[in-house]
Structure 1
Amino acid sequence: MSSNSQFSSPMKLLISFHKLFEKYEQLAETNTGYIGEKAKSILKIAKEYPELKNGFTDISTLDKREKEIALILQDSFSELLTQNEIKAASLPFFDKTFNVTKRFQKIIKNAGTDFQLEIKNMPENHRYMMACTIILNEVYGYDLQLKRPFHYEIPEKNGIKRYYKILYNADFIEIIKTENAPNITQQDVDDLLDNFENLALWKEKFPEDSYIFKGFVISNIFDVTDDFAISEIKSNLIDEGKGQDKNFIKDLQSIFQSFLKIPDIRVGFSVFNRDEGVFERVYGEGMHSFLLNDKTIGDCADVLCKSSYKKLLKEKKHISVSNIEEAYKETQGKVPHIKVLYDQGFKSAIFAPIANKDGLMGILELVSHQPKALNSINANKLEDVMPYIVTTVQRSKTDQENLIEAVIQKECTSIHPSVHWRFKQAAQLFIKENIIQKKNMPFSKIAFKNVYPLFGQIDVKGSSDARNLATQKDLSNQLKLAQSIVDKANEQNNMPVYEQIAFQIKTYLNQVETYFKVDSEHLISLFLKNEITPLLELISKINAPLKMEIDRYFSDMDSDLNVLYHHRKHYDDTIGLINKNMSTLLDMKQTEAQKMYPHFFERFKTDGVEHNIYIGESITREDSFSLIYLYNLRIWQIQVMCDMENEFYNNQDLYPLPLDVASMILVFNQPLSIRFRMDEKQFDVDGTYNARYEVVKKRVDKAFIKGTTERITQKGKLSIVFSQQSDEEEYLQYIHFFQAKNILGSDLEVLELEDLQGVTGLKAIRVNIIYKKDTQEETSYFTYNDVMDAIENQNFAS
């Protein structure tokens, strides 16, 4: 095998000891005695084996002349240090070594018969450029620094990887330019400085084998496993994306195995929740807590004994258990963290606090199946890596808090995407003024001018009456149950208190069934809780025959509310299901509506579902708004209200209680301004004039038809409230269109409304909704152009 067959290079590699022989020639001339004689004996080897001086490329010569080479190198490789030093002779960037020290031989032997020595972190294509920089430095006198730390990765018998850094001594090399080598100019060097990755350019300036490397290098090798492990731990932890990698824990365990020289070490984490005083497991690929084992959460006082609790949480010092089995026997399994480790089969462990200036954040858990492998001595080695773990956990904790805040904002105080840009603008300005420029400025006003509002609601009819009726039934039934028990107790053991309670029960029953008032529920509930419950508990103790009936009474009560909650539960569950189903449908349809033109949308759950829509150029930031988009949205709103009505009545069998709903749309034909109210975390109209819109919104569904006591909203009908003649004309066109599509019926009314407080001149269109049994077929939504085309065709036909 040739020294030049392993990889391409601008240098032909010639193994030679000529530089070393030159040193010995000087020693032979200037020294007498032992040093001079020794130098002469080595020079005899050079004379007897000229290839060692002239150079050779055949690697097999290293084996043939092994003894001679050892004699030549004896001063560089002291026999006294061969058991201690890790050293070898070699060629630069070449995996082949020779004249290896005994310690290095032992390390390679322990790696196994299949192990091949290989220089790591040296990309193949970089070898060529690195050789070129050596030529530029040695032949042309440049000072280009391309030194990189090279290392070997060698496993021990137990599989633990050890890392060894290679430092080259290049005193005995010579680089010779051949006639095939182009002359290198300053312009060539300038071109190369900006093109390190351009291999073709480097090969153009330094063709293969155009220079001769003559000599050898001495590789001084050092065990840097601890430093390497710390560096790897640091890079694994600091890399923000690494924590999400499914191999993160596996890699971390491998590094800790090398760092602490324990082949079976396992790594776990638990997070300390300071607010709750508990440890929690970390959720992630491969993450585990050996302290919690199969629990997701554990109270600190239940997980640790008092002394360990004090050391970890108060003093922020590590604890170690070198022999878990012995500790378990000594403590009779009563110490919680010893028991949990013993139950998992571990024999030694270290728990290290992950803490910053604010206190404990979590626990690093190291465990092993070997007794005494982990102990208080090697626990101190963790001091070198804990700062990186603390930094990572602190960052992770911040990320977690940010994620929680994002979820809260999304789920609880959502900012609609259509206006998010404006909040982002304000936040950037706030940061600039208050954090960067140190000004004390308030968060800027978030407002949008000249936007058109749309409001709609689908409301449960008679919800107050329905709930009152449900409450009356529950209270009446509970009072009657109590009355039956008290009467029986009085029959068996006549006592004045029974008669007095029976009288109160009768009075409350009469009130429930004849003149139920607003405060009746509260008064009767207090009576049942404070008077009936203690009395029945006493009767249960002193009157055995009634105990079973009293137990049945309490078993009928809701466990959380301690009252009979049967009919009211049916009501609450029905309202909840209606709201859920209507909201889900509205949200789905709203996603489609946004595709027509971006607009602000929000909805609220009451005894039904309300929605607000605002559309205008100030929201979209684009010079593209046209009233056509408003008209499209109004048409969409009519159809989606009809879809929600159909959804409700086609799913009546899902609701525990039969209820009815009524739908209403409020039309406001003038643009207005809206402002985000920071205290209420929602948008509201801005300005006194615009406040009229909010007044109408809140009161209009309770409005009566003029001259009657009939409310405008009715089940089975869509009510559209407006105040301008132009609104009436516009919406009548839409209604005629939907009548032609069999979405709305022919029962059409235009009605005047009684004046509301501060609001006069309201009118309403009321039309019946056509319900369809088959709602599985996806509805296609109509646009303003569809409506206009239908109207034109109808006029043409007539």
Structure 2
Amino acid sequence: MELITVDVTQNTPYGLQKIDSSVSFRSFISFLESKADQEETVKRTFFSLVLERLKAEPGFNRQIPLTEVAAYKDQLSLVYGMLVPPVADENNVYWALSMPLGPVVFYGTAGFYNLITDQNHTGNLRCDLIDDNRDVYRHKMQMLYTFILERLYHFPPIHHSDMIITLKDDHSGLQKFYRLNVDNRFCDVYPKEALPELNLKEMRQDLMESFNLDVITRLLPVDLFRFEGFSIVTMTDVTGEHALEHIKSTILERQSYEPAAYFRNINESLKMLVENAHIDFGMLPVLKVNNKLVFDRNTLLYSKLMQTSTESSSAEEMYLSMATEYFRDPKLFFMRNLDTENEHKKELVKKLRNQQIESFALLPVYYDNRAIGVLEVYSRMENSIDEKVLARLDSALPLISQIMKNYIDEFNANIENVIREKFTSLQPAVQWRFRETAWHFLRDKAANPQNAVIENIHFKNVYPLYGAIDIRNSTVERNLALKKDLQLQFTVLTETFTALKQKLGFGLADEMTYKCKKWFSEIYDQTTDSDEMKVRDFLDFEAHPFLQHFRENGMAEYSRESVSHNKEKSEIKEIIDCYFEITDEQHGAAFANRRALETSMQQINSSVNLYLDLFKSEIQQSYPCYFEKFRTDGIEYDIYIGQSIKPDQKFSELYLKNIRLWQLTSMAAITKITSLLIPKMEKPLETTQLIFIHSSSIDISFRDDERRFDVEGAYNIRYQVIKKRIDKVRVKGTGERLTQPGKIAMVYFNEKSSEEYAGYIRYLQEKNTLCDDLEYLELEELQGVTGLRALRIGVNLENEWS
């Protein structure tokens, strides 16, 4: 025990102001006398002995000036013995006596003084204990006035939170947190004059809600009171609790953190929990798709073990192998010192050594009794990790499991979002209707399970907008590419069979050569779909089995007499291998034209898709609408907008006009984007742009069989029929296709639609987006459709748009 006087405020700006107080142990002695009278066990004798020793010194039973406290060291030791369990180690107990409700400590354990004062024991506080925060001052004043009101006004106790003090640990360099408790049961307060009358009801309300310091200090100035006795100050290490609370709050505020900052916060809290700045942590949640482990590099960034391998070409294979093996029987894996580990861990030790890691552990993490990941614990210092460290982490594992569960949920949600956005018709604009229908089904099922049915999901009176970006002459280009590739393939195949005939003297090779030349002639003349199927049958069931036989089984039984049988066998294999290299779909020359065409088409469709995704996002901002794309050789899309899509937001035709202008603008942008791609394509391709203007509203419903929306009703189906037939429509009297590269074609029935779009065209011409070549065209009749007209306008591909 030590007798050192320390003012814990050190004159900080918001320190608890000096109060009129004196040290006295009279209240404590009275307390012991009362306990002695009540006791009937051997404790009574013990209390009597302590009282006898305390009363033996008359000065101890009166007010003691702070300067004279040191004279009563033996008595203070007895006080300590009565208030603290005798088996406690004072080096690990943070306990002290202070002036009553005051900031001056005069007697305490070695542990207390070591904690709050500098290492030289000069009595100066450690600088990070001093907190000039006004909230701390407010907390102290609330404690003081609570005591006054309880003792003098018999006021009910007011709950106030504990005071937390932050200190930097000299050994670990980490912040530690201590809960400060002040026990005032041996303090007394005496008014120096008549007590003012208070409205206790209003006072209690104010103290509970706001604790207005200005009001209470005006009603009850501190200098009105005198305090006598002593306070007991204890500090409890709550670093572990604080670390766990910090992890909890970080989890709750997940959305406010960037992923790296989020993980860094968790990592720092775990360091605090294990009280070692040299230990770091990694997390590896188990991610699965269709119940199979998957390799996600974003998640693996938080795993030190996997970071050692992510740059390797075999990283995915290594992870899947290790994870599959580990999660068959997940358990604690611990290497205190990598130097001492046995041979079968050699590869793992090598990987960790590459990261200068000396100590390593894996802890399986469970959620609902199912392993969902691992927590890595590692250090670059030998023997830093031991059983004590791992035991401290036990309290954090439920929170770590929640973090990993959140990661897994986010991963699965992202998968579902992609499915919803890219592969299904369930878009945000209409999702509310599906939720409502699902709820109605569950409600009806609970009430009457036998008769519950899914409602028909439909939207009445919506305005449709249709657009199509088609690759010009895609069928012709596809047939031409196939023709060129087959010509090369049959040229090489003919040469291959001719060489085999020379090497083998096998009559059937001669017949195969004849068939190849015949096919070549037919391909050169014309290729139809039926021809292509017959060509494929010939290659798959005649030519290729013939070649495979001689490549795999050799030619001994057919070979002529030769002085070098092995040499001829090798030459035949080389000839056949050369043919199959040329006909390899991924790299062979006999697929070069088809690959070039496919690559170019993918370039176009990827660029169009990307732009339409941006277009889709933009149009949702003004009024929610349904937007669905279809993949053909190009891209088609449907847009539906109307009051029934968003019942709680008033619809106006202004939104329809706005989206029509946006559609025309986007078609112009797509025209320019695809034209700029032409020089970059292996096979230059052009696109055509088509819009169908439907002036009236239609009804749509969700088709369960196709998982998409379609029109309903006989009149509405006419819209669908027209939409499907106009892509090949021709200009009346000319035979010319309506859709042309570099232009936008707009098909319509109603002259009012023509006037509306003419206004949009003039606006875009002013912006230098469209050319000054607007055409008004009559179209040929389609089967069951008459009276179609069209506008056609060129897109300015040269100048910059304003």
Both structures adopt the same fold (TM-score exceeding 0.5): yes
Are residues 1:326 and 2:340 paired?
Answer: yes
- Partner residue of 2:226 out of 212, 237, 241: 212
- Partner residue of 2:703 out of 677, 688, 694: 677
Aligned to 2:77: 74
1:481 Cα deviation after fit: 1.8
Label 1:298 to 1:10 Cα distance change in 2 as closer, same or farther (>3 A): farther
Are residues 1:133 and 2:141 paired?
Answer: no
Aligned to 1:345: 356
CA contact (8 A) 2:16 2:102 kept: no
Are residues 1:289 and 2:313 paired?
Answer: no
1:473 Cα deviation after fit: 0.6
Secondary structure at the counterpart of residue 630 of structure 2 = strand
The share of aligned pairs that are identical, in percent, is 22
Query: When the two structures are superposed, what TM-score results if normalisation uses the length of structure 1?
Result: 0.79
Aligned to 2:532: 521
CA contact (8 A) 1:367 1:374 kept: yes
Moved more, 249-258 or 196-205: 249-258
CA contact (8 A) 2:359 2:378 kept: yes
Secondary structure at the counterpart of residue 19 of structure 2 = strand
Residue type of the partner of 1:762? G
Q: What are the ranges of 5 or more consecutive residues in structure 2 without an aligned counterpart?
A: 1-5, 38-43, 555-565
Label 1:303 to 1:515 Cα distance change in 2 as closer, same or farther (>3 A): same
Secondary structure at the counterpart of residue 566 of structure 1 = helix
1:664 Cα deviation after fit: 3.5
- Partner residue of 1:303 out of 296, 299, 322: 322
Label 1:582 to 1:264 Cα distance change in 2 as closer, same or farther (>3 A): closer
Residue type of the partner of 1:690? N
CA distance in 2 between counterparts of 1:37 and 1:526 reads 112
Aligned to 1:784: none
CA distance in 2 between counterparts of 1:681 and 1:739 reads 40
Label 1:636 to 1:232 Cα distance change in 2 as closer, same or farther (>3 A): closer
1:181 Cα deviation after fit: 6.0
- Partner residue of 1:195 out of 201, 204, 209: 209
CA contact (8 A) 2:21 2:99 kept: no
CA distance in 2 between counterparts of 1:341 and 1:573 reads 43
1:519 Cα deviation after fit: 3.8
Secondary structure at the counterpart of residue 448 of structure 1 = strand
Are residues 1:272 and 2:286 paired?
Answer: yes
CA contact (8 A) 2:747 2:788 kept: yes
- Partner residue of 1:54 out of 63, 77, 80: 63
CA contact (8 A) 1:244 1:284 kept: no
1:567 Cα deviation after fit: 1.1
Alignment of 1:227-626 (within 5 A): 229-230=243-244, 232-233=246-247, 236-237=250-251, 240-241=254-255, 244=258, 246=260, 248-274=262-288, 278=293, 283=298, 287-290=302-305, 293-295=308-310, 297=316, 299=318, 302-303=321-322, 309=325, 313-327=327-341, 330-331=342-343, 333-334=345-346, 336-357=347-368, 359-376=370-387, 379-413=390-424, 420=429, 422-428=430-436, 430-431=438-439, 434=442, 438=446, 444-525=455-536, 527-528=538-539, 531-532=543-544, 534=548, 537=551, 542-544=568-570, 553-558=579-584, 560=586, 564-584=590-610, 599-619=625-645, 621=647
CA contact (8 A) 1:160 1:258 kept: yes
Alignment of 1:83-232 (within 5 A): 83-84=89-90, 86=93, 87-91=95-99, 96-105=104-113, 115-116=126-127, 118=129, 123-150=136-163, 153-154=166-167, 155-159=169-173, 163-179=177-193, 182-223=196-237, 229-230=243-244, 232=246
Residue type of the partner of 2:800? Q
CA distance in 1 between counterparts of 2:763 and 2:24 reads 101
CA distance in 1 between counterparts of 2:464 and 2:649 reads 19
Are residues 1:653 and 2:672 paired?
Answer: no
Label 1:642 to 1:2 Cα distance change in 2 as closer, same or farther (>3 A): closer
Secondary structure at the counterpart of residue 127 of structure 1 = helix
Query: When the two structures are superposed, what TM-score results if normalisation uses the length of structure 2?
Result: 0.79
CA distance in 1 between counterparts of 2:757 and 2:250 reads 64
CA distance in 2 between counterparts of 1:762 and 1:145 reads 86
1:472 Cα deviation after fit: 0.9
Aligned to 1:792: none
- Partner residue of 1:699 out of 725, 738, 750: 725
Q: Deviations over 1:483-502 (max 9, x none)?
A: 22332332344222422332
Aligned to 1:686: 712
Are residues 1:777 and 2:801 paired?
Answer: yes
Secondary structure at the counterpart of residue 718 of structure 2 = helix
Q: Deviations over 1:595-652 (max 9, x none)?
A: 7876544443422333333343434547865656656665665565455445545654
CA distance in 1 between counterparts of 2:53 and 2:761 reads 116
Question: May I ask how many residue pairs the two structures share in their alignment?
Answer: 753
Q: Deviations over 1:658-702 (max 9, x none)?
A: 444444433433321122334434322122221111111112323
1:129 Cα deviation after fit: 1.8
CA distance in 2 between counterparts of 1:390 and 1:619 reads 41
1:468 Cα deviation after fit: 0.6
1:545 Cα deviation after fit: 5.1
Secondary structure at the counterpart of residue 491 of structure 2 = helix
Aligned to 1:783: none
CA contact (8 A) 1:271 1:279 kept: no
Label 1:674 to 1:561 Cα distance change in 2 as closer, same or farther (>3 A): farther
Moved more, 361-370 or 446-455: 446-455
Moved more, 176-185 or 723-732: 723-732
Label 1:641 to 1:46 Cα distance change in 2 as closer, same or farther (>3 A): same
Label 1:681 to 1:178 Cα distance change in 2 as closer, same or farther (>3 A): farther
Residue type of the partner of 1:145? I
1:480 Cα deviation after fit: 1.0
CA distance in 2 between counterparts of 1:426 and 1:593 reads 22
CA distance in 1 between counterparts of 2:204 and 2:495 reads 105
CA distance in 2 between counterparts of 1:243 and 1:738 reads 43
1:14 Cα deviation after fit: 1.3
Label 1:666 to 1:485 Cα distance change in 2 as closer, same or farther (>3 A): same
Label 1:746 to 1:684 Cα distance change in 2 as closer, same or farther (>3 A): closer
Residue type of the partner of 1:289? K
Q: Deviations over 1:247-284 (max 9, x none)?
A: 55455445444544544211111122355765857847
Cα RMSD (Å): 4.6
Label 1:277 to 1:326 Cα distance change in 2 as closer, same or farther (>3 A): farther
- Partner residue of 1:760 out of 764, 785, 789: 785
Secondary structure at the counterpart of residue 290 of structure 1 = helix
CA contact (8 A) 1:192 1:202 kept: no
Secondary structure at the counterpart of residue 405 of structure 2 = helix
CA distance in 1 between counterparts of 2:692 and 2:581 reads 48
CA contact (8 A) 1:271 1:282 kept: no
